Structure 1
Amino acid sequence: MRMLVTRPEPDAQATRDRLAALDIDALAAPLMTRRNLPANLPSPQGFAALALTSTNALRALADRKAHEPFLEMSVFAVGHRTAHEARLLGFTDVTPAEGTLGSLVTTIALARLEGPVFYPAARHMSGDLAQALAPHGLMVVTVPVYEMVARPALPEDAASALVRGEIGAVLLYSRRSAEIFCTLAGAAVPPGQRRSLPMLCLAENVAAPLLENHFSRVLLADHPSEEAMMALALAFAREQSGS
């Protein structure tokens, strides 16, 4: 069993290491790379909290040490992995949600903040945090600090492995990565083979573009987290091996 990991680096290598610990061989094929954006960041004064929907936002800030003025702020993170990254960077007041934008909105709303929320975000956002929090009377100041740039083609080793039928499953963590994979798959996964290639997905919204492009063998993690993806990968590998 060899799996294809489509996450950007450094997350792709982290996932490969976790799969290796489960005795699952994996090949990294990052479909996107992070590019930091020039941004005029606001002063932390006057904000009630910092909202994070991605570890990449933290990395974009940390690359230029722009996170340091915000270290004393309360942080609301979309999930436990992002919360962990925030703590590693020195944030101490960190509250994780349960891995989805909806859970983050609920967590922030229940905090009854008295002031606006600063949201360092991606240029291409999968959801609108400001719009979601507006009914709760909260203003969100959104500043794009990074963008994820799609690769022009699959890495050569990944494309070759797909053509030779050496990939037992593909791991996909975001809707955009699924869309990019569908675009780049091309000759590596012709229409006749798309129905049989297993796609292990973080959530339903990740699976949607796959189904539209005739990748019909889709399995979903029980929860939008890396732990749930590893559990799904292990269960799938054991099923295929009969163990």
Structure 2
Amino acid sequence: MAVLVTRPAPDNERTAGALRARGFDALLAPMLRFEPVALPADTGREVAAVIVTSSNALRAVAPQLAGSPLLKLPLFAVGGHTAAAARDAGFAHVISADGDATALRGVVTDQVAAGLAAARPTLLYLAGADLSRDLAAELGERGFDVITQTVYRMAPVAALPRAVCEAFAANAVEAVLHYSRRSAAAFVAAVRADGVEISALAVPHGCLSANVAEVLREAGATQVTIPAHPNENDMLEGLARALRS
């Protein structure tokens, strides 16, 4: 029996390692495919700082940053994982909000209030094509001009790997993990297209948030767990308790 991980590569490998450390076997079926988008040559001209809410944004731009003036700017990251990716990409002045987009908004606002930049500063938001909230507008209400630059997209994957379909057919999947609404929706579409919907929705589904869980419940899943806090460790611990109860 194995736990199926639906998050994209390369993060799915980290999750698989965390599962194995807890005594579970892991199957991988990334339901979104990472596609980087090229940066325009003049990206970041006359901006005061960079903001990033996903390590995928750094993954997308890192190969394009050699000699870039962006590396000299302060970079505000949503959390520690994204901050580490920013440092690996070559940013020297990285400020982590250690939270979510709301925490990031607060840190950016506080830093500017402390004199980081001039009045009505311009920020560069390196973002994905599909955004769950309008952070640029929220910062605009607090006195910023924000340039949102799309640097990657996550394309839905239409079908499950053959080995995963066979595992569902053999009732060899113990549970499924979901990290976003879009990947959860892609999973539901794929299990329907592959003819394994009944067995796939019958197992427990661990979801990072209530927003993600809603997709599974609407599809017919009845065993859905949500962590008290939206982080992977809490999600895995909650799922482990549910499977072993």
Task: Check whether TM > 0.5.
Answer: yes
Q: Deviations over 1:96-138 (max 9, x none)?
A: 2344322222222222253111111111222211112121111
- Greater mean deviation of Cα atoms: 87-96 or 198-207: 87-96
How high is the sequence identity, in percent, across the aligned residues?
Answer: 35
Partner of 1:137: 143
- Greater mean deviation of Cα atoms: 86-95 or 3-12: 86-95
Amino acid at match of 1:176: R
SS of match in other structure, 1:168 = strand
For the Cα contact (< 8 Å) 2:188–2:197, is it kept in 1?
Answer: no
- Give the count of matched residue pairs: 237
Residue 229 (str. 1) matches residue 235 (str. 2):
yes
Partner of 2:55: 55
Please, which of 197, 203, 207 is the counterpart of residue 189 of structure 1?
197
Deviation at 1:71, TM superposition (A): 2.0
Q: Deviations over 1:51-87 (max 9, x none)?
A: 1111111011013336843222222112221112112
Amino acid at match of 2:226: L
1:16-27 equivalence runs, <5 A: 16-27=16-27
For the Cα contact (< 8 Å) 1:73–1:93, is it kept in 2?
Answer: yes
Deviation at 1:37, TM superposition (A): 1.6
SS of match in other structure, 2:222 = coil
For the Cα contact (< 8 Å) 2:39–2:61, is it kept in 1?
Answer: no
Please, which of 199, 209, 234 is the counterpart of residue 203 of structure 1?
209
- Greater mean deviation of Cα atoms: 85-94 or 201-210: 85-94
In the alignment, the residues of structure 2 paired with residue 134 and residue 81 of structure 1 have an alpha-carbon distance, to the nearest angstrom, of 26
In the alignment, the residues of structure 1 paired with residue 182 and residue 67 of structure 2 have an alpha-carbon distance, to the nearest angstrom, of 26
Partner of 2:86: 86
SS of match in other structure, 2:173 = coil
For the Cα contact (< 8 Å) 2:6–2:177, is it kept in 1?
Answer: yes
Partner of 1:76: 76
Q: Deviations over 1:10-57 (max 9, x none)?
A: 111121112112221100101111111233154545322211111111
Task: Give TM-score, length-normalised by structure 2.
Answer: 0.87
In the alignment, the residues of structure 2 paired with residue 159 and residue 99 of structure 1 have an alpha-carbon distance, to the nearest angstrom, of 36
Instruction: Decide whether aligned partners of structure 1 residues 38 and 229 sit closer, same or farther in structure 2, where only a CA change above 3 A counts.
Output: same
- Greater mean deviation of Cα atoms: 45-54 or 65-74: 65-74
Amino acid at match of 1:109: T
Q: Deviations over 1:141-189 (max 9, x none)?
A: 0011111111121111112212222111111111111111111121212
Please, which of 152, 155, 162 is the counterpart of residue 156 of structure 1?
162
Q: Which runs of 5+ in 2 are unaligned?
A: none
In the alignment, the residues of structure 1 paired with residue 11 and residue 180 of structure 2 have an alpha-carbon distance, to the nearest angstrom, of 13
* CA RMSD, Structure 1 to Structure 2 (Å): 2.2
